[in-house]
Amino acid sequence: MFMKTWAAGLAYSNGYSYRQNTGFVSYYAERCPDVSETMRFVVNELKTAEEDPGLTDYAVAQVFGYSRAPSRYEQRGEAMASDLIDGYTPEVVKAFRKKVLDFKDKKNLNDELRSRMESAYGPVLTGYGQSLSKSKDGIFFLIGPEEQFKMLENYIETTEGEQTVYRLYPRDFWLTL
């Protein structure tokens, strides 16, 4: 999604991410000329994606992509201590990764992953899967000019029905001069 969206000039940076420890997913896009067009494009790319079994290996590899190596010593220590307190011991992490490696050889894994695309991407992409109003623990926000909000509201209305998009202003949080 990142390269196609970037190449289309619809977002300077963007991407879908998944947090293993919490199960939360997110989609982030910045510097969009039209946020609704960016969302429409991403959803269409997913809906019309050609089957590519090579992406299965890529998806599995994402589980192993996280590293604390670039972090400062103190940050790594704090993160490891938090993991231990939360129960993410080296044994738990090892067992999880072993199950992922065992699972990667499952017959028809590519088909199974494709069948789960809506349930994986849908909770954070307007117009893909169930309505975002039904997303559990969803937090959706946009920072931009009023025109972006209006375009997003129109897109939401055409894909998911009428929903209120609330606006917050700096004066709601900070003293402004």
Q: What's the confidence (pLDDT) of residue 29?
A: 92
Q: What mean pLDDT do residues 90-107 have?
A: 90
Distances from the Cα of 72 to the Cα of 68, 81, 85, angstroms: 8, 14, 20
Residue 177 has pLDDT above 70, yes or no: no
The answer to whether 30 and 97 are in contact (CB under 8 A) is no
Q: What's the confidence (pLDDT) of residue 176?
A: 59
Say what the pTM is.
0.79
pLDDT band at 43 (very low <50, low <70, confident <90, very high): very high
pLDDT band at 105 (very low <50, low <70, confident <90, very high): confident
Domain ranges of the chain: 1-49+117-177, 55-105
pLDDT tens across 11-34, in order?
A: 999 998 888 778 888 899 999 999
Q: What mean pLDDT do residues 155-169 have?
A: 86
Q: What mean pLDDT do residues 116-145 have?
A: 85
Q: Which range (21-25, 99-103, 115-119, 158-162) has the least confidence?
A: 21-25
Residue 57 has pLDDT above 70, yes or no: yes
